[in-house]
């Protein structure tokens, strides 16, 4: 999704901004641009397509200050004109923007009537014109007046040709951080502090209509009444290592192979004898009577599995809601509801908005997240880190299994507190859980079998992925992987539901991938496989070692190691990830940056 970056300091602003954009690339984008001030004039270069294209055509003079952008189109097509930065009519102001201005159409009309001419279809250009309209020598004041007219969310970085040594930044419900290091005499602004690539940086986060004036030696922050405020800063420790593929062809496959380790990291220190989370004082959970999991995409699939675990093991009513829907319900939430917001990035706008909404009901909020400095971690009442390390591929893999590991432990933690599990049962459960990394390694060691299956299935355009109980959300997650990186139509269904409509679609060109490793429903899913076979659809089953019967029905079989039903999603989903990866590779797709997708979805 859009990323903004700005630099002021003694290094070459162009090179620093380009390096910043490289760090923002993983978020997913369709255009890039960079602008700056040279000899009192705004200059810029912007291009639809990859950052490499922008670099090829760069012909900017030496800059005194610079701002830069990766665009993920919301308003207006993907073309050079719509890429950022956007300028006001006089070319004095340049703006880069992440977010959505909901009332841009009305504002544009008003500005047009006042004589403004627009050269793009974007909502962002309206902001540049608005700032210009209110500018009378003080850019903080102009920005303050301009943003008062905006409905929606934004993270903005603005430069003005009359202020060649200052970046101006403003944010509303959209992440925006300012990083500075007094010794180095430089400052940066970005939607992702990890893009700063500097050791020992002090970082502050803007929010709620705050405005910052940023120079290389000084940062002034103003609140929404234009009162100067002092902000808490966080130290970003500098173990910064640029992402590397470590010999793998893609980040996705590297991250799939990291899972035996990343799962261990999620478990580390949290299940010695009994389950403990130092992040969660027991009083925080004592009065909880129901749990609401919130998330989007992959994180919502993890939440669905967690809801089943909570109901079955901790015996607490639990449900998972897609965050973008949860917001607009009239939920029966109370202060005795724990809202668990699950997000790899911690910046997903829908998840943040739903969590903020839940807070209005007095609910306690818990974030399960992979990014320590994220908005979700900062705004929730408590937070548990996944410790999976940066996930670069747009397609989420290792974050999902780490989410499962943490959510499983959270279930056991609650079960302990509520005395729903005996020490003996807990011990046995944890034994199975600790065996999961080795089981995943076993699957990775037989990845070549999935690669062969992928060759066979790569030409189909439609798939159903089906499963029962724990295997239903697992099937949904595996189907999501396939559709997002291969662009084939793959949908997850509860296996029993196919005959209520979807089965009408089946034919020999419409395979079914069946996730069978849930022992409790083995007989039922065998019958569902027969129903599918009877319609001539090819069947690829992912079943656990003892499930003999499945092998005799399916056309193709991939075996995963046996475990208890509650933990069966781990191995099965890794098989699904590998299948999706190899099919996408067969089809020659852009695996790490699939079209239209963004890693960090910061608009609702």
Whichever of 95 and 480 has its CB closer to ligand F6R, that residue is: 480
CA angle 91, 93, 96 (to 5 degrees): 115
- The secondary structure element, H or E, covering residue 575 is helix 568-586
Minimum gap (Å) between residue 204 Cβ and ligand F6R: 23
The distance in angstroms from the start CA to the end CA of the chain is 11
Hey, is 172 helix, strand or coil? strand
Nearest to 271 by CA among 61, 427, 118, 121: 427
Angstrom distances, CA of residue 568 to CA of 82, 445, 552: 47, 18, 21
Minimum gap (Å) between residue 598 Cβ and ligand F6R: 8
| Contact (CB, 8 A) for 229 and 368 | no
Place of tokens 């992925």: 465
Distance CA 488, CA 35 (A): 38
Minimum gap (Å) between residue 240 Cβ and ligand F6R: 21
Within residues 452-471, the interface with ligand F6R by CB under 6 A covers none
Known active-site residue 296? no
Whichever of 14 and 353 has its CB closer to ligand F6R, that residue is: 353
Stretch of 49-57, 247-255, 262-270, 292-300 lying at the interface with ligand F6R (CB under 6 A): 292-300
Whichever of 440 and 554 has its CB closer to ligand F6R, that residue is: 440
Whichever of 296 and 385 has its CB closer to ligand F6R, that residue is: 296
Residue of 2, 45, 395, 516 with catalytic role: 2
Whichever of 395 and 525 has its CB closer to ligand F6R, that residue is: 395
Within residues 546-575, the interface with ligand F6R by CB under 6 A covers none
Interface residue with ligand F6R, options 67, 93, 395, 584 (CB under 6 A): 395
Minimum gap (Å) between residue 188 Cβ and ligand F6R: 23
Whichever of 30 and 565 has its CB closer to ligand F6R, that residue is: 30
Hey, is 222 helix, strand or coil? strand
Place of tokens 């909880």: 288
Whichever of 262 and 351 has its CB closer to ligand F6R, that residue is: 351
Angstrom distances, CA of residue 416 to CA of 266, 305, 424: 19, 19, 12
What is the total count of residues that contact ligand F6R (CB under 6 A)? 14
* E strands, 52-191, in order: 65-71, 86-87, 93-101, 152-160, 167-172, 177-181, 186-190
Within residues 575-604, the interface with ligand F6R by CB under 6 A covers 601
Stretch of 129-137, 147-155, 294-302, 440-448 lying at the interface with ligand F6R (CB under 6 A): 294-302
Residue 298 makes contact with ligand F6R by CB under 6 A: yes
Stretch of 179-187, 338-346, 414-422, 468-476 lying at the interface with ligand F6R (CB under 6 A): 338-346
Residue 181 makes contact with ligand F6R by CB under 6 A: no
Minimum gap (Å) between residue 394 Cβ and ligand F6R: 6
Minimum gap (Å) between residue 486 Cβ and ligand F6R: 12
DSSP codes, 360-419 = TTT-EEEEEES-TTSHHHHHSSEEEE-------SSS--HHHHHHHHHHHHHHHHHHHHTT
Interface residue with ligand F6R, options 191, 343, 528, 577 (CB under 6 A): 343
Angstrom distances, CA of residue 17 to CA of 93, 175, 414, 524, 584: 18, 18, 46, 57, 32
Interface residue with ligand F6R, options 351, 411, 526, 568 (CB under 6 A): 351
Place of tokens 């007219």: 149
Minimum gap (Å) between residue 410 Cβ and ligand F6R: 17
Residue 396 makes contact with ligand F6R by CB under 6 A: yes
329 burial via Cβ count (<10 Å: 0-12, 13-18, 19+): exposed
Minimum gap (Å) between residue 275 Cβ and ligand F6R: 23
Interface residue with ligand F6R, options 122, 181, 259, 299 (CB under 6 A): 299
Interface mask (CB under 6 A) for ligand F6R, residues 246-265, using x and -? --------------------
Minimum gap (Å) between residue 344 Cβ and ligand F6R: 4
Known active-site residue 483? no
Minimum gap (Å) between residue 26 Cβ and ligand F6R: 11
Minimum gap (Å) between residue 292 Cβ and ligand F6R: 16
Stretch of 30-38, 266-274, 343-351, 447-455 lying at the interface with ligand F6R (CB under 6 A): 343-351
Interface residue with ligand F6R, options 125, 484, 522, 566 (CB under 6 A): 484
Distance CA 90, CA 132 (A): 8
Stretch of 42-50, 115-123, 290-298, 527-535 lying at the interface with ligand F6R (CB under 6 A): 290-298
What are the residues whose beta carbons fall under 8 Å from the beta carbon of 99, sequence distance 6 or more?
2, 152, 153, 154, 155, 172, 173, 174, 602, 603
Edge to edge, what strands does the sheet with 489-494 contain? 489-494, 462-467, 512-515, 539-544, 556-560
Stretch of 74-82, 154-162, 341-349, 436-444 lying at the interface with ligand F6R (CB under 6 A): 341-349
Residue 479 makes contact with ligand F6R by CB under 6 A: no
Interface residue with ligand F6R, options 92, 285, 363, 480 (CB under 6 A): 480
What are the residues whose beta carbons fall under 8 Å from the beta carbon of 164, sequence distance 6 or more?
37, 40, 64, 65
* E strands, 237-327, in order: 271-272, 274-275, 290-295, 318-322
Residue 296 makes contact with ligand F6R by CB under 6 A: yes
Interface residue with ligand F6R, options 348, 408, 474, 518 (CB under 6 A): 348
Nearest to 569 by CA among 541, 538, 544: 544
Whichever of 352 and 443 has its CB closer to ligand F6R, that residue is: 352
With b for 16 or more beta-carbon neighbours within 10 A and e for fewer, the 56-86 pattern comes to eeeeeeebebbbbbbbbbbbbeebebbbbbb
- Both tokens of 475, joined, read 């099937």
> In the chain, what is the greatest distance between 2 CA atoms, to the nearest angstrom?
79
| Contact (CB, 8 A) for 302 and 407 | yes
Instruction: Give the binding site for ligand F6R (CB under 6 A).
Output: 296-299, 343-345, 348, 351, 395-396, 480, 484, 601
The residues annotated as belonging to the active site are 2, 599
């Amino acid at each position: 999704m859009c990323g903004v970056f700005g630099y002021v300091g003694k290094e070459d602003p162009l090179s620093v901004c380009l390096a910043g954009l490289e760090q923002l690339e993983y978020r997913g984008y369709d255009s890039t641009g960079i602008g700056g001030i040279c000899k009192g004039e705004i200059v810029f270069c912007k291009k639809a397509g990859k950052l490499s294209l922008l670099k090829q055509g760069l012909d900017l003079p030496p800059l005194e200050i610079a701002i830069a952008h990766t665009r993920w189109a919301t308003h207006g097509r993907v073309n050079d004109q719509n890429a950022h930065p956007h300028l006001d009519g006089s070319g004095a102001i340049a703006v880069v923007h992440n977010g959505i201005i909901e009332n841009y159409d009305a504002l544009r009309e008003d500005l047009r009537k006042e004589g403004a001419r627009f050269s793009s279809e974007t909502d962002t250009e309206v902001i540049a014109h608005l700032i210009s309209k209110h500018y009378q020598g003080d850019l903080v004041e102009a920005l303050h007046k301009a943003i008062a007219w905006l409905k929606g969310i934004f993270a903005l970085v603005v430069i003005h040709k009359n202020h060649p040594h200052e970046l101006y930044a403003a944010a509303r419900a959209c992440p925006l951080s300012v990083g500075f290091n007094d010794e180095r005499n430089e400052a940066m602004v970005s939607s992702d502090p990890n893009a700063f690539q500097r050791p020992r940086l002090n970082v502050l986060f803007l929010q709620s209509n705050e405005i910052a004036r940023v120079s290389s030696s000084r940062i002034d922050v103003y609140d929404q009444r234009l009162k100067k405020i002092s902000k808490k800063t966080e130290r970003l420790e500098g173990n910064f290592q640029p992402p590397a593929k470590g010999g793998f062809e893609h980040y996705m496959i590297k991250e799939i192979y990291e899972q035996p380790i990343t799962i261990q990291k999620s478990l580390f220190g949290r299940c010695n004898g009994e389950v403990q989370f130092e992040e969660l004082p027991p009083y925080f959970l004592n009065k909880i009577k129901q749990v609401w999991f919130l998330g989007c995409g992959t994180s919502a699939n993890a939440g669905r599995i967690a809801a089943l675990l909570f109901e079955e093991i901790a015996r607490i009513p639990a449900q998972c809601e897609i965050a973008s829907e949860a917001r607009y319900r009239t939920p029966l939430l109370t202060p005795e509801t724990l809202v668990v917001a699950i997000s790899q990035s911690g910046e997903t706008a829908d998840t943040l908005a739903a969590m903020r909404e839940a807070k209005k009901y007095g609910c306690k909020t818990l974030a399960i997240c992979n990014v320590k400095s994220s908005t979700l971690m900062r705004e929730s009442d408590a937070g548990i880190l996944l410790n999976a390390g940066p996930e670069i591929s747009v397609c989420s893999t290792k974050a999902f299994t780490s989410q499962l590991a943490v959510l499983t432990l959270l279930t056991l933690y609650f079960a302990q507190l509520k005395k729903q599990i005996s020490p003996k049962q807990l011990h046995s459960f944890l034994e199975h859980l600790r065996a999961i990394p080795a089981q995943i390694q076993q699957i990775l060691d037989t990845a070549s079998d999935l690669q062969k299956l992928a060759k066979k299935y790569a030409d189909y355009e439609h798939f159903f992925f089906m499963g029962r109980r724990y295997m239903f959300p697992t099937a949904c997650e595996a189907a999501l992987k396939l559709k997002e990186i291969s662009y084939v139509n793959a949908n997850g269904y509860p296996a029993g539901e196919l005959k209520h409509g979807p089965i009408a679609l089946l034919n020999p060109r419409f395979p079914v991938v069946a996730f069978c490793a849930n022992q409790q429903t083995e007989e039922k899913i065998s019958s569902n496989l027969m129903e599918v076979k009877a319609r001539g659809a090819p069947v690829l089953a992912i079943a656990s070692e003892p499930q003999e019967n499945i092998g005799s029905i399916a056309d193709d079989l991939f075996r995963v190691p046996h475990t208890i039903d509650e933990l069966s999603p781990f191995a099965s989903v890794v098989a699904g990830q590998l299948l999706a990866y190899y099919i996408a590779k067969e089809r020659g797709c852009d695996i790490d940056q699939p079209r239209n997708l963004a890693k960090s979805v910061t608009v609702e």
